[in-house]
Amino acid sequence: MIAPIKSRIPVVGDGSIYHLKITLAEVKPPIWRRLQVPGEANLGWLHAVIQVAMGWTNSHLHQFTYGGTVYSDPGFNLDEFEGDPKIFDERQATLQKIVPKLKSVLVYEYDFGDSWDHFITVEKFLSADPAVASAAECLDGAGACPPEDCGGVCGYADLLKILRDPDHEEYLTSRVGIVGDFGGCKVTGLPSGTTAHELSYLFGPRVYFPTHGRVFPFVQTLFGGERFSAGVTGLGSGSSSAFAMSAGGGADVTLTKHVSLRAIQVEYLYTHFGGASQNNLRLQSGIVWRFGR
């Protein structure tokens, strides 16, 4: 259901293209994007566009507000309790119905904990163009969006102070972490009836480098052990453990506050089995789980 439009200002023509400026409120230096989107786009679609354009991870609830009327995903059940304001379905509300005139400002709030308010200003209208009738384009912008779950405007300001001051007492802890790295593999290319597996368990420091967006490069040096097990059909199986260490780096892509995709990890792996040293090059990818902030 769409809230009634009380204004008598005519709605722009069907198929019109909107130029929008999206500004993250109360953040310095300014973080903003200028987008070109079809006027017939609904607010649910615009939410997805904003997430990509700003660099958020779509890990929290959101809502749009205009003229005291709130639009969101009905699946959030934001109005399930008595006394809650009525929430209108964002998928049924289009830009040209909600904000039909220039200089209109629609508010988009993302993450009700950190409360990131975005001011969406209608800058201009363009005539319908079949080439962009169903697409969004980011025309300009400045600044990377803050990290997810950093504490809102105040927390982000504090984080910037820390990152700009190498002498700050929290500077090192913002870049360095202690990690546990667990990996395993099946050895291939063995004779028929023979199986073998390796399992590594390594711990040590990892250093992340500052960057923009959701990709975080890192280097690490880890120490621990490796277990090798093998078996031959009809003859039994056995296993052996030995010291192991690795040195290398890679890059993580943040998905949520605690979960990242390990896009790539390349490292030198040293082991010592049977009184002899083994030197290996290891290439990995996978899912990373983080504890704490």
pLDDT tens digits for range 78-136? 877 777 789 999 999 999 999 999 999 999 999 999 999 999 999 999 887 776 667 89
Confidence of residue 7 (pLDDT cuts 50, 70, 90): very low
Note the CATH number of domain 17-144. Answer: 3.10.290.30
Do domains 17-144 and 171-289 share one topology? The answer is no
Sign of the CA dihedral 62, 65, 70, 73? negative
Note the CATH number of domain 171-289. Answer: 2.40.160.20
Confidence of residue 210 (pLDDT cuts 50, 70, 90): low
Q: Is residue 277's pLDDT more than 50? A: yes
What is the reported pLDDT for 172? 57
Sheet holding 176-186, edge to edge: 176-186, 194-208, 215-232, 236-254, 259-273, 276-289
Going from N- to C-terminal start, the domains of the chain cover 17-144, 171-289
Q: Which amino acid is at 225?
A: G
What is the mean pLDDT of the segment spanning 183-195? 82
